[in-house]
Amino acid sequence: MKITILAVGTKMPDWVDIAYKDYAKRFGRDVSLEIREIKPEKRGGGVTTEKGIAAEHARLSAAIPPRARLIVLDERGRNWTSMQLAGSMKDWLAGGHDLCFVIGGADGLSDELKARADVLLQLSALTLPHGMVRVLLAEQIYRAISILNGHPYHRE
């Protein structure tokens, strides 16, 4: 099974890369977790928010793996527990799908990409820095897989 995280933004602080890699290496052979950084559109110089979002939309759309379930992080998305995420992942994976999670840029995501998503998921009601979102998402994906595998990492 392959899980891809598409994240608008580059040049994260070292602590983000260290923490993300710590979770990514925990999965073992059955699960591949990969992050792909998507170049953010520069703002200013006549580039409006709408043009920036459109440019990032094109880059994101090109990077979405074919036939993957698309889970887009959005502040207005579903606010699931870790157990609910695990249950949905079980269903998706039973269908033989790879998964693709999308983290938008500073100005958000296009309405078109959100409409295309299989699920809009709220990671938190709080506003979080993009680097922290990468780490929290990797941890929650690991937690969900641990729940599905009966690993004691998650305790109810």
Task: For residue 154, tell me if it sits in a domain.
Answer: no
Structural domain boundaries enclosing 132: 2-148
The backbone torsions φ and ψ at residue 73, rounded to the nearest 5 degrees and listed phi first, read: -80, 130
pLDDT in tens, 54-86: 999 999 999 999 989 999 999 999 999 999 999
- What is the Cα–Cα distance from 44 to 71, expressed in whole angstroms? 30
Q: What is the pLDDT of residue 59?
A: 97
Structurally, the chain folds into a number of domains equal to: 1
Looking up residue 104, the CATH number of its domain turns out to be 3.40.1280.10
Task: For residue 125, tell me if it sits in a domain.
Answer: yes
Task: For residue 42, tell me if it sits in a domain.
Answer: yes
Which stretches within the chain are classed as H helix?
14-24, 49-63, 82-94, 111-116, 130-148
Task: For residue 90, tell me if it sits in a domain.
Answer: yes
Task: For residue 156, tell me if it sits in a domain.
Answer: no
Task: For residue 53, tell me if it sits in a domain.
Answer: yes
Supply the pTM of this predicted model: 0.94
Q: What is the pLDDT of residue 30?
A: 83
pLDDT in tens, 114-153: 999 999 999 999 989 999 999 999 999 999 999 999 988 8
Read out DSSP for 55-83? HHHHHHHHHSPTT-EEEEEEEEEE---HH
Task: For residue 153, tell me if it sits in a domain.
Answer: no
- What is the Cα–Cα distance from 86 to 79, expressed in whole angstroms? 13
